[in-house]
Each structure stands twice: as structure tokens, then as C-alpha cells.
Amino acid sequence: MATQSGSAPDLYFDDALELIESEQSILAAEADAFRAFLRHVEELSVSAPSTGGAPHLCSQSARKDPFRSVREAYQATVMDLAHYDEEYGESFEESVRMEYGPDIATLLTTGQVFERHHKQAVVVATEDLIDQRERLRDALLEERESIQRFRDPVESVVDGIASLDSAATTQETPKLLDSYRRRLSVLESRCHDLIDQRQSEIVDGRRALSLPITEPDIPSYLYTNLPVTYPVVAPLTGALESAVTLTATIETERSAQS
């Protein structure tokens, strides 16, 4: 009784795990780059403005234009990452605006005086950028564990429904058709349970990162290059669609045999 509803849905667990590993490497490299940039900024020691209003730059590295020094350090660290051009391709001005926001970006691109509170603002913002990437790496670790944890049960239920779809024929006895129907009901229930569990984990991940509702969740951010955005939920949804079609076919056949 193959319903022609399609074979088992495609599974993308291996692809998802590869994307997670790649993104973790990118985040680790970016965190290290911002740490290197932070060390340079911390070396720019400035005192309070003199009577004339001009700050006294104390360190050797700060004797030249501090804004030029910051720009060169940023270009030599953050913008020198192997993936920078492919992932971002932004100019210095565009990058600092995206990472630091308009106020610090304006300071670093058009500022004339680099005082102590300016330095502190850059330091604090850079520390926050490092923390963001570390927190996201932790979230990706959770995502990897989630994908690995769901893999076997998802494959089992998807294969189970596909097997029933292939095995059933119009010549089956009423008893066997009833057996298929009961088995399908169990598998459908299992699909719904797995979907609910996965959705709950996605919500927990959003909360852990304090993501506003307007921001994409982890799967939407991570799996843009996959054919499906939700590699755990998508095959379950596809399997449910097959199960519904097969159940309807079984019901029709049972009615015809009555």
C-alpha cells in the first residue's frame, strides 16, 4: 500500500554537526582576535586632559596618533582573520559600527581626542564582544549535544513510518491493517513528543542567550546553508505527513473490506 507520499524525509544531521564545528572554530578565532585587540587598547595609557585640554599619551605605543594605532591593531587582529572577507567583507568603519555601535564607531573613525574614558569605553565594549562569542560557543556546544541526542530517536521513528509505508499493500488482511494503524499511531505520538522536546530546547537556548523575539534562534542563525532550517523538526514533520496519508489510506481500505 505504498502511498507514494515520498520516501523517508532527508536527514541532515551530519551536515548540521559540520556547520556547528565550523561556527565554533570561527567564534573561537574571533574571540582570540578581540582579546589581542583588547591587549593593544589596554596598552594605550592616557592621563586626564591637561589644562589646555589635550591628553598626555604615556605609553610608547601611544606616542603616535592613538586612533591610527587602534585602527591598525583592529586591522591586524579582527580584520586579519582567515574568514573575515568571506563572512563579512566590511571596511574598518563598517565593522566597528556593526560590532561597537554608532557612538564608539564615531569616536574611532572621526575622533580627535582619545581620553581615559574613551579608552575605558572601548575596553568594556571589547570585553562584551568576547563574552558574546564565548556565550554563543557554549550555546553551540549545547546545540551539538542536542543534535547528537535526537539523532537516533528521529532516525528510528522516520525509518519506522517509511517502513510501514513500503510494507503495507492493498491485499493485507483486516487484522494486519489494524496492526499497521496501531503502530502508526504510536509512531505519530513519538514524532509529536520529539518535536515538543526539541522546540522546548530551542526556546531554552534563546533564553540562555537573552535573545529578543526579533532575533533569530540558534537553528535559524546556524543552518542557513542547509536545505532545512530545523534539521531535527523537519524530518519529523515530513514523517508525520507521510503517516497521516498512510493512515487515511488504511482507513479507506478497512472501510472497503467491511
| Residue carrying the nine cell digits 591593531 | 73
Residue 90 belongs to domain spanning? 27-135
> Both 122 and 167 in a single domain?
no
> Both 57 and 82 in a single domain?
yes
Instruction: Give which of 233, 239, 226, 236 is closest to 16, Cα–Cα.
Output: 226
> Both 141 and 252 in a single domain?
yes
What was the pLDDT predicted at 56?
47
Residue 4 located in a structural domain:
no
15-20 CB contacts, 8 Å cutoff, 24+ apart: 15/226, 15/231, 16/147, 16/222, 16/223, 16/226, 16/231, 17/144, 17/147, 17/148, 19/222, 19/223, 19/225, 19/226, 20/140, 20/143, 20/144, 20/147, 20/222
Instruction: Give which of 247, 249, 235, 222 is closest to 16, Cα–Cα.
Output: 222
With vertex at residue 159, the alpha carbon angle to CA 199 and CA 248, rounded to the nearest 5 degrees, is 85
What was the pLDDT predicted at 236?
97
CA 240 to the chain's CA centroid: 26
What was the pLDDT predicted at 177?
86
* Tens-level pLDDT at each residue, the chain (258 residues): 554 444 556 789 999 999 999 999 999 999 999 999 999 999 986 745 655 555 444 444 445 788 999 999 999 999 999 999 999 999 999 999 999 999 999 999 998 888 999 999 999 999 999 999 999 999 999 999 999 999 999 999 999 999 988 876 656 788 888 898 999 999 999 999 999 999 999 999 999 999 988 999 999 999 999 999 999 999 999 999 999 999 888 888 877 776
What was the pLDDT predicted at 57?
43
| Residue carrying the nine cell digits 555601535 | 101
What was the pLDDT predicted at 51?
52
Instruction: Answer with the one of 135, 163, 178 that is the final residue of a domain.
Output: 135
Q: CA dist 72 to 56, 95, 181, Å? A: 21, 13, 68
Alpha helix stretches (DSSP H) within the chain: 13-43, 66-76, 84-87, 92-100, 102-110, 116-167, 174-208, 218-222, 233-257
Instruction: Answer with the one of 86, 107, 135 that is the final residue of a domain.
Output: 135
> Both 130 and 149 in a single domain?
no
238 and 9 Cβ atoms separated by less than 8 Å: yes
What was the pLDDT predicted at 63?
57
Residue 5 located in a structural domain:
no
What was the pLDDT predicted at 169?
62
Residue 8 located in a structural domain:
no
Give DSSP secondary structure letters for 199-219.
HHHHHHHHHHTT--TTS--HH
Q: Can you read off the three cell numbers belonging to residue 109?
A: 573613525
Q: Can you read off the three cell numbers belonging to residue 13?
A: 544531521
> Both 150 and 228 in a single domain?
yes
Instruction: Answer with the one of 102, 135, 168 that is the final residue of a domain.
Output: 135
Q: Can you read off the three cell numbers belonging to residue 240?
A: 508525520
What was the pLDDT predicted at 174?
82
189 and 236 Cβ atoms separated by less than 8 Å: no
